[in-house]
């Protein structure tokens, strides 16, 4: 076979496998295939063909690039045209190609991998083990790119429920940010005065409201994946029936999940902390772990809790800015809260609670 023919065959195969890898990648993304082997092998084939092609034509490509570079710099051109400088590639190119592949393989192997400590008798602290275990290595970061996971729905919806549209939260001018930061405290004494619907609307907007056209929200989120859902348990808000609601982020609305006085249940689920029953509203923050896991895998638990913290602080500052009191609650019975919200505690679980009331 002539060299030119081989080049054409290689380039055509490269283009076809590249196009197939792109298309299968799109299909995998569209349907959320976790491990789409047809995509993976097409990608490997394309990479192998590219390597062979570069091995055969490396010299020609480098000469061409060098020539273009010189031309761009407007330095005097070499008298010999590029075509004439090109020498057919021989054993040297194969060796260089092979060496490059070997170096790539060795570097890939040698890059610090994730630290996966074996459970040791020295520690019984799962958090410590998890923290060590979830440290990424460089090879892990590269691996994430090729790891297609199943991405769940971005928005939780309860279509069968009654929807309550919330007033526009924008335009309110409360305390300055500096004043809110300077005066924020965890407040556990609330008066019997309820919250207004406007106040509740501003709190939800500060926590998770959509603040940019692309769907970006008030609190930051790793990869803009937004794993946290907000469930306000309303005790005393003007114009709202007491009960359990879900915040529909897209519509900036509430969905009524369960009507009724949930004060006793909330206090019981929070290890008897009575002030949760005096608050106007208690915000339960749940995490839908898979929303983050499909991309960040073992980093998920870190990110999800960090994000709950961001949302909690926004709630604190928004409440302070409006003259309300807020308190974070981390001491609660997980299963009781999960049962209250009717979430399974595994795929979706309560991770944080914030009470807000009038002071």
Return residues touching ligand FMN (CB under 6 A).
185-186, 188, 273, 327-331
From the CB of 149, what's the least distance to ligand FMN, in Å?
29
Sheet holding 228-234, edge to edge: 162-165, 253-259, 243-248, 228-234, 281-288, 348-358, 324-329
Distance CA 47, CA 11 (A): 12
269 or 329: whose CB is closer to ligand FMN? 329
From the CB of 352, what's the least distance to ligand FMN, in Å?
7
220 or 260: whose CB is closer to ligand FMN? 220
148 or 303: whose CB is closer to ligand FMN? 303
From the CB of 281, what's the least distance to ligand FMN, in Å?
16
Which residues fall within 8 angstroms of residue 325, CB to CB, at 6 or more apart?
185, 187, 188, 189, 190, 319, 356, 357, 358, 359
Residue 174 token pair:
């409360």
Q: DSSP character for 157?
A: -
From the CB of 271, what's the least distance to ligand FMN, in Å?
8
Q: Is 17 left (phi over 0), alpha (psi -120 to 50) or beta?
A: alpha
Place of tokens 């306000």: 232
CB 175 within 8 A of CB 321: yes
Residue 2 token pair:
């002539």
User: How does DSSP assign 267-323, residue by residue?
Assistant: HHHTTT-THHHHSSEEEEEEEETHHHHHHHGGGHHHHHHHHHHHHHHHHHHHHHHTT
From the CB of 333, what's the least distance to ligand FMN, in Å?
11
C-alpha torsion angle, residues 211, 215, 216, 222 (rounded to 10): 160
238 or 306: whose CB is closer to ligand FMN? 306
89 or 273: whose CB is closer to ligand FMN? 273
99 or 331: whose CB is closer to ligand FMN? 331
Place of tokens 């965890």: 186
From the CB of 282, what's the least distance to ligand FMN, in Å?
12
From the CB of 306, what's the least distance to ligand FMN, in Å?
11
281 or 327: whose CB is closer to ligand FMN? 327
Task: Determine the residue with CB nearest ligand FMN.
Answer: 330
């Amino acid at each position: 076979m002539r060299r030119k023919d081989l080049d054409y065959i290689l380039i055509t195969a490269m283009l076809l496998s590249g196009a197939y890898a792109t298309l299968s990648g799109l299909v995998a993304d569209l349907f959320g295939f976790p491990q789409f082997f047809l995509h993976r092998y097409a990608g490997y084939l394309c990479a192998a063909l590219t390597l062979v092609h570069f091995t055969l034509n490396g010299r020609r490509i480098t000469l061409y690039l060098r020539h273009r570079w010189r031309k761009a710099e407007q330095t005097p051109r070499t008298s010999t045209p590029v075509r004439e400088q090109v020498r057919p590639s021989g054993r040297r190119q194969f060796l260089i190609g092979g060496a490059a592949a070997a170096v790539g393989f060795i570097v890939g192997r040698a890059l610090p991998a994730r630290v996966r400590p074996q459970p040791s008798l020295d520690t019984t602290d799962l958090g410590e083990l998890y923290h060590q275990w979830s440290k990424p290595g460089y090879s892990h970061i590269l691996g994430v790119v090729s790891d297609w996971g199943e991405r769940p729905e971005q928005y939780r919806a309860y279509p069968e429920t009654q929807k309550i549209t919330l007033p526009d939260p924008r335009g309110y001018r409360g305390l300055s940010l500096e004043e809110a930061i300077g005066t924020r405290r965890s407040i556990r004494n609330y008066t019997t005065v309820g919250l207004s619907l406007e106040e509740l609307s501003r709190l939800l907007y500060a926590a998770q409201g959509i603040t940019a056209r692309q769907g970006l929200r008030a609190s930051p989120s790793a990869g803009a994946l937004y794993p946290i859902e907000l469930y306000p348990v309303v005790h005393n808000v003007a114009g709202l029936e007491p009960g359990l609601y879900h915040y529909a982020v897209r519509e900036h609305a509430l969905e009524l999940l369960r009507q009724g006085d949930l004060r006793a249940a909330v206090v019981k689920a929070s290890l008897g902390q009575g002030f949760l029953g005096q608050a106007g509203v208690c915000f339960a923050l749940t995490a839908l772990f898979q929303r983050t896991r499909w991309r960040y895998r073992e980093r998920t638990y870190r990110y999800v809790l960090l994000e709950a913290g961001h949302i909690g602080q926004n709630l604190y500052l928004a409440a302070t800015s409006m003259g309300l009191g807020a308190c974070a609650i981390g001491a609660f019975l997980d299963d009781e809260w999960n049962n209250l919200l009717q979430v399974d505690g595994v795929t979706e679980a309560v991770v944080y609670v914030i009470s807000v009331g009038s002071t």
